[in-house]
Amino acid sequence: MPTAFKVVPREYRDSVSLMQLSALVSKLPGVEEASAVMATPNNLALLSEAGFDVSAAGATAADLLIVVRGTQSALAGAIEEALKNLARQAPSAQAAESSDDKPRSVQMALADAGTANMVLISTPGEYAAAEALKALRLGLNVMLFSDNVSEEQELRLKRVASQRDLIVMGPDCGTAIINGVPLAFANVVKRGPIGVVGASGTGLQEVTVLVDWLGSGVSQAIGTGGRDLQAMIGGISTSQALRHLAADTRTGVIVLVSKPPAAEVAERILNQARQAGKPVVVNFLGTDPEKISGGGVHGVRTLEDAARAAVDIAAGELPRHSYSDVPVQTVRLPKLRSGQRYIRGTYSGGTFCYEAVLLLDEQLDNVYSNTPVRMQGRLEDPRRSHHHTLIDLGDGAFTRGRPHPMIDFRLRNERIIREAQDPETAVILLDVVLGYGANADPAAELVPTVRRAREIAAHGKRNIAFVGHVCGTPGDPQGLDLQTDALVQAGVVLTQSNAQAVRLAASMVLGRASLPPSPR
Amino acid sequence: MRPQLIAALSVGSRVPSHFSGRVHSVYRRACNIELDDGTLITVLGCEQTNLPHGIRCELPEREVFQVWMRPGQAVAADASLFRAFPGEFALDLRGAALWRCRLRGFAMDSQAKASPRALSAAQRVLRQCTTGGGFVPLLLGDAARGSTLERAMQRRLREALPALSRASCALDCTAAARALEQLAGLGPGLTPSGDDFIVGYLAALHARSSRETLLRSFLAGLAGAVTRLAAAANLISRQFMLNAVEGEFSEALAQVVLAAGAFDERRLGDSAVRLVRVGHSSGADSLAGLLFGLCLPVASTPHHRVWMPVAT
């Protein structure tokens, strides 16, 4: 039976992880035997003796070797699955999780982990509210990853939680970092004095990632669910989160991020923030920062500004409302043909898309999106671009029946190719989200498409600029440097934040001296 | 930014007082640092046992090093402070106790009548508590129904262990080195089973060598060979093997040896259980090496019962 192998250089997974990886790949269809061992001379000899074709020239005892024996058609997929698993796997010993005695209810889980005070619920939406209610009655805080929970159910859950001094994060809460543990779609960030509350998943990710990059750290990142600041829910979870962070001695500065809240809810939350007893940086996207500032609340314009202001405050420096003039390096403008006029954004993060629409709308006419800031900007058909078009591919219209675009890049790749075929496309904007939950190797998904798009443009004697930013940290399982290097080599201009990428794209189509991306 | 200080509880005797280096690998409750001179130190959570090259610290039980440390990050330490750059992780070393492996100078009487019964307690643990993987299931069981890899590994053990046993009994350093070469880097795990086995074997020889003088020169003769094998191993294995050449072992392994030397069956059983819980199979493999070494009938110990479950 044929065999295949893959050397993963300088990979130091603990023994339990290696054993789990071997077991997982061994169980794949068409695989007869698989193993993940360190590539020592004795192991290479042993594998050879066991009939594996391992011509791993140059491999050393510090490298990990994955070997598979099986049907020819299964080998490549098995190696690929092993690599994906390595990227996904928390690099830690988690043998206990493989136990056969997995709890089958929240109550059973609580009996096993008596000190737990929080549950993460990810079930189909129709069952999620009932499970959340059971958990609240058991005295547990709830992170409700599930969507398709009605507003009425959400309100009921949050009221029950509030009466018990608990919090419901969600529904559709995709991101949180609790006591240093990333939950769902979240990044590996340093711990530190900045607590973040967000009604926006990628907004939370962007702020926590930038706080990490700026050298500070995160005490807690609490998601509230996208509807929490709407009038019907009334900001119940945001209020709870603010109260918790105000009382948390490890939190020195609080950041609050959201799409525009209902006016009366915003007023109530801002009043609470002013009484928090510690500085609160607020980014209500699209709200004039100066109008909400005062009394300990510091308003900012963008997610990047929120991170920078919080880090400045934590360091004892005066914050600013905007950091759009942060100087760094210049980027050579692409040579565009006269008909190339438009920016086309393909986003996996809803908040990134919304922020991009806001920023572009200030500088350009005719900005359209499926998450518009004004009704006139709504696309009639989200599948077709016209003028400047920014698409949130995580919108329900695109994700029904398929994985989120942070995981599955097919839809985005198809869209990029279509935009490249349009002779009016000048710049393609994109976000790349790393961290737990996201695709194991986004660059590998995107780079072939970027190259193909460039070929299409070149065939039409055009040149398309790709501008994006990677929302990730060096600690993320995908490897920040690996991802950025691959994208840069494919010709993607990367900036440090979404806001910087948008401004750079705008400057390109306006033909101005380029705005600068920060060097990583 | 001022780093948050975490108190160090103990510092192993092989940790230099001043050093700089880079983070090599990070796990939930352990973080390896490669020093500029190519040696390794390991920062450990408080629930872990001491290592000669380890710094145990009061990292809260629910926290993990991955939040604080990343491969490639620079670190530096003096006698009072350990810091990672950039970042906020810092250890206050001022109140840390010096931990020294107590096997140095320890004299185990392997010929005592109580010895076989005490050792059988550890052998029982090995049979009962080993979860699978590594050498031990192959040593204790029948690998005929195992994978081709396991069968190949068992064949290798059937050659190498009797050869090591014969060479050790004859105090033949050259032949023992050849046998150890067959084991080094062999098998699964970040520290391959063979490396763990060798460390356990050397712990046994060190424990016995204070009384059994012939073993001292044998051990000294093996030092060069083990150092060469260590040089070819990955950094983590290498450090354990180099420690072992110097007679320095992990606290978990040393406690088994000390309990065996005291013929305290209960303590030996308890410490053996703690040792086999180290890693996936690392603890069990080093316990197997230790028992193999403690039961060897070397020239001065004619009454020893050989512990060699591998069919030869």
Residue pLDDT, tens place only, B236-276: 999 999 999 999 999 999 999 999 888 888 888 889 988 98
The alpha-carbon gap from A510 to the nearest alpha carbon of chain B, in Å, equals: 38
Task: Give residue-wise pLDDT tens across range A301-322.
Answer: 999 999 999 999 999 999 988 8
Tell me, yes or no, if A8 comes closer than 8 A to chain B by beta carbon.
no
Q: Does A163 touch chain B (CB under 8 A)?
A: no
Distance to chain A for B69, nearest Cα, Å: 8
Q: Report the C-alpha gap between B296 and A367 in whole angstroms.
A: 81
Alpha-carbon distance values, B102 to A188, B121, B213, B253, B262 (Å): 39, 22, 19, 11, 13
Q: CA neighbours within 13 Å on the CB side: how many for A424?
A: 9
At A439-478, the pLDDT tens digits run 889 999 999 999 999 999 999 999 999 999 999 999 898 9
Phi, psi of A350 (to 5 degrees): -60, -40
Strand order of the β-sheet with A168-169 is A118-121, A141-144, A168-169
Mark which residues 230-249 of A lie under 8 Å from B by CB.
Answer: none
Subunit contact A475:B63, Cβ cutoff 8 A: no
Dihedral sign for Cα A438, A441, A443, A447, please.
Answer: negative
Q: How far is CA A437 from the centre of its chain?
A: 8
Residue A206 contacts by C-beta under 8 Å, 6 or more apart in sequence? A303, A304, A307, A349, A351, A352, A471, A497, A498
CB pairs under 8 A between A and B: 147
CA distance B279 to chain A (A): 6
Cβ-in-10-Å burial (0-12, 13-18, 19+) of A303 comes to: buried
Interface contact flag, A15 B156, Cβ < 8 Å = no
Which residue among A52, A62, A215 sits closest to B86, beta carbon to beta carbon? Answer: A215
Q: What confidence tier does B130 reach under pLDDT thresholds 50, 70, 90?
A: low
pLDDT of residue B161: 94
* Among the ranges given (A106-110, A251-255, A400-404, B17-21), the one the predictor scored with the smallest mean pLDDT: A400-404
The partner residue sitting opposite B185, judged by closest CB among A38, A90, A179, is A38
CB contact under 8 Å between A19 and B280, yes or no, is yes
Chain B interface, mutation test: which of A11, A46, A66, most B Cβ atoms within 10 Å?
A46
Instruction: Mark which residues 42-101 of B lie under 8 Å from A by CB.
Output: 62-64, 66-68, 70, 72, 86-89
Chain A CB within 8 Å of residue B145 CB: no
Per-residue pLDDT, B311? 37
The C-alpha of B80 sits at a distance from chain A's nearest C-alpha, in angstroms, of 22
Amino acid B118: pLDDT: 77
Distance CA A369, CA A395 (A): 11
Distance separating alpha carbons of residues A510 and A342, to the nearest angstrom: 10
Regarding the domain delimited by A103-172, which CATH topology (the fold level of the hierarchy) does it fall under? Rossmann fold (3.40.50)
Peptide bond connecting B3 to the previous residue in cis, omega within 30 degrees of 0 = no
Q: What would the two tokens of residue B298 be?
A: 């070397």
The gap from C-alpha A58 to its chain's centroid, in whole angstroms, comes to: 36
Q: Decide if A403 touches B, using CB distance below 8 A.
A: no
CATH of A3-94, one of 1.20.120, 1.20.81, 3.30.70, 1.10.287: 3.30.70
Q: How far is B25 from chain A (nearest CA, A)?
A: 6
**3-state secondary structure (DSSP) of residue B178:** helix
Instruction: Average the pLDDT over each of A271-275, B100-104, B194-198 and give the range with the smallest value.
Output: B100-104
Average pLDDT, chain B: 87
Q: Per-domain residue ranges for chain A? A: 3-94, 103-172, 175-325, 342-509
Express each pLDDT in B63-83 by its tens digit: 788 888 889 999 999 988 999
pLDDT at B142: 55
* Residues 156-215 of chain B whose Cβ lies under 8 A from any Cβ of chain A: 156, 182-192, 194
pLDDT at residue B197, as a whole number: 97
The better pLDDT of the pair A279, B64 is held by: A279
- Cβ contacts of residue A266 below 8 Å, gap of 6+? A229, A260, A284, A287, A292
Identify the pLDDT of residue A330. Answer: 64
Going by C-beta distance under 8 Å and a sequence separation of 6 or more, which residues neighbour residue A174? A145, A184, A185, A201, A223, A437
- Tokens 């049979």: give the residue: B127
Q: Which of A54-68, A226-240, B22-36, B202-216 has the lowest mean pLDDT?
A: A54-68
Least confident of A70-84, A255-269, A323-337: A323-337
Confidence band of A19 (pLDDT split at 50, 70, 90): confident
Determine contact: A188 vs chain B, CB below 8 A: yes
User: What mean pLDDT do residues A494-511 have?
Assistant: 91
Residue in A closest to B27 by C-alpha: A92
Instruction: State residue B309's pLDDT score.
Output: 47
Q: What angle is formed at CA A438 by the lines to CA A122 and CA A455, rounded to 5 degrees?
A: 140
Mean pLDDT of B93-120: 81
A475 touches chain B (CB under 8 A): yes
Alpha helices by DSSP H, listed for B29-147, are 114-129, 136-140
- How many CB atoms lie under 10 A from the CB of residue A101? 8
* H-type alpha helices, A12-71: 15-26, 41-49
Share above pLDDT 90 across residues of chain B, in percent, rounded to a whole number: 54
Considering only CB atoms, B67 lies closest to which of A40, A190, A314, namely A190
Query: So what's the pLDDT on residue B312?
Result: 33
- Interchain CB distance below 8 Å, B152 and A46: yes
Statement: residue B140 has pLDDT above 80: no
Residue A93 has a pLDDT of 35
Question: Fold identical between A103-172 and A342-509?
Answer: yes
Q: Which residues on A lie below 8 Å from B155 (Cβ)?
A: 49
Specify the pTM.
0.55
| Binary contact (A15, B87; C-beta < 8 A) | no
Q: Do B183 and A192 touch (CB under 8 A)?
A: no
Percent of chain A whose predicted confidence (pLDDT) is above 70? 92
Q: CB of B128 within 8 A of CB of B108?
A: no
Closest CA to A18 of A95, A97, A110: A95
Whether residue A38 lies within 8 A of chain B, CB to CB, comes out as yes
Report the mean per-residue pLDDT for chain A. Answer: 88
| Whether B259 contacts B108, CB under 8 Å | no
Is the ipTM of this structure higher than 0.90? Answer: no
Band of residue A412 on the pLDDT scale cut at 50, 70, 90: very high
Q: What is the pLDDT of residue A327?
A: 55
CB A287 within 8 A of CB A265: no
Does position A200 have pLDDT exceeding 90, yes or no? no
Strand partners, A195: A254
Query: If we measure between CA atoms, which residue out of A195, A206, A201 comes closest to residue A224?
Result: A201
Q: Could you tell me which residue, B28 or A221, shows the higher pLDDT?
A: A221
pLDDT digits (tens, 9 = 90+) for A74-133: 999 999 999 988 887 644 433 333 334 556 677 777 777 667 899 999 887 778 898 999
Of A18, A51, A192, the CB nearest to B88: A192
Distances (CA, A) of A142 to A110, A135, A195, A234, A237: 13, 7, 18, 18, 11
Question: By CA distance, what is B187's nearest residue in A?
Answer: A43
Q: Comparing A113 with A184, which gets the higher pLDDT?
A: A184
* Nearby residues of A207 by Cβ (< 8 Å), 6 or more positions away: A196, A198, A221, A255, A257, A283, A303, A306, A307, A310
Predicted confidence at residue A301, as pLDDT, reads: 95
What integer pLDDT is reported at residue B262 of this predicted model? 87
- Residue A7 token pair: 């050397």
As a whole number, mean pLDDT of residues B123-146 equals 74
What was the pLDDT predicted at A396? 73
Peptide bond into A319 cis (omega under 30): no
Quick check: A515 pLDDT over 60?
A: no
Task: Determine the average pLDDT of the residues in A186-203.
Answer: 94
According to DSSP, the residues that pair with B85 across neighbouring strands are B74
Q: A175-325 maps to which CATH number?
A: 3.40.50.261
Asked if the model's pLDDT at residue A516 lies above 60, the reply is no
Q: What percent of chain A has pLDDT over 90?
A: 65
pLDDT class of A400 with cuts at 50, 70, 90: low
Query: Which of the 8 DSSP states describes residue B118?
Result: H
What value does the mean pLDDT take over residues A383-401?
86
Interface touch A50/B152, C-beta < 8 Å:
yes
Three-state DSSP class for residue A141: strand
Say how far apart CA A213 and CA A202 lie, in whole Å.
Answer: 16
Assign domain A342-509 one CATH number from 3.20.20.70, 3.90.180.10, 3.40.50.261, 2.40.160.20: 3.40.50.261
**Helix, coil or strand: residue A436:** strand
* Three-class SS state of A350: helix
Structure tokens at B235: 């950094």
Least-confidence region, from A261-265, A330-334, B308-312: B308-312
Chain A residue numbers with beta carbons less than 8 Å from the beta carbon of B282 are 15
